[in-house]
Amino acid sequence: MMSAAESQPPPQTAAKTEIGAQASFPKINIEHFRTLPGIVKLVQLAFGIICMACASPAYLQGTHWFLFVATVSFITTLLWVFVYLLSVREELNLPINWVLSELMNTGVDTVLYFIACIVQLAVWGEVSHPYRAANITAGVFGILNTVAYGLGTYFLFVQWKSSRTPTN
């Protein structure tokens, strides 16, 4: 015959079950990256890596600004990729207008990339330097990334505009 202590599970097992029941794992959302806005985000990351690789190290003053913009834009875009990949927008019930936040971030990145490309190409345009070709390449890919960020801004603007409720 079993005693009452032998028939009940150990206390550690019960605690693990409660903790395991409360924990939820983030849902991986790859479907977003099969849409045009998701593909544009991945292109922005790829062009950002090329920009940072071609412009590093910064030999001239304008390249410091270009690398700063490329790095900050890369990091913020990478954060948005994780927001979409891990379905953070759906999991967190915060009073944040996610679309407007991303729209403003991407719009600022677009303007800063445009300015940084002008600076990068102007600084390296007339210089005779062994790394001139790589830095000009960084500026050209910066222009392409400016277009990608502009396209991303447009898609976000359309999404934000369609999500707003009409007022009378």
- From the list 67, 35, 43, 62, the residue with the least C-alpha distance to 145 is 43
- Beta-carbon count within 10 A of 67 CB: 19
Q: Is 10 inside a domain boundary? A: no
What's the pLDDT score for residue 93?
A: 78
Q: Which residue stretches of the chain have pLDDT < 70? A: 1-26, 165-168
Q: What are phi and psi of 2, to 5 degrees?
A: -90, 145
- Angstrom distance (rounded) from CA 103 to CA 123: 30
The reported pLDDT for the residue numbered 2 is 54
Q: Name the nearest CA neighbour of 116 among 139, 147, 148, 141.
A: 139
Q: Is residue 31 part of a domain?
A: no
Contact indicator for 141, 52 with CB cutoff of 8 Å: no
Boundaries of domain holding 86: 51-163
With contact defined as beta carbons under 8 Å apart, do 162 and 61 qualify? Answer: no
Q: Which two tokens stand for residue 19?
A: 């903790």
Residue 25 lies in a domain: no
Does residue 81 fall inside a structural domain? yes
Q: How many domains does the chain have?
A: 1
pLDDT number for residue 96? 86
In a domain, 11, yes or no: no
Within a domain: 70: yes
Whether residue 138 is contained in a domain is answered as yes
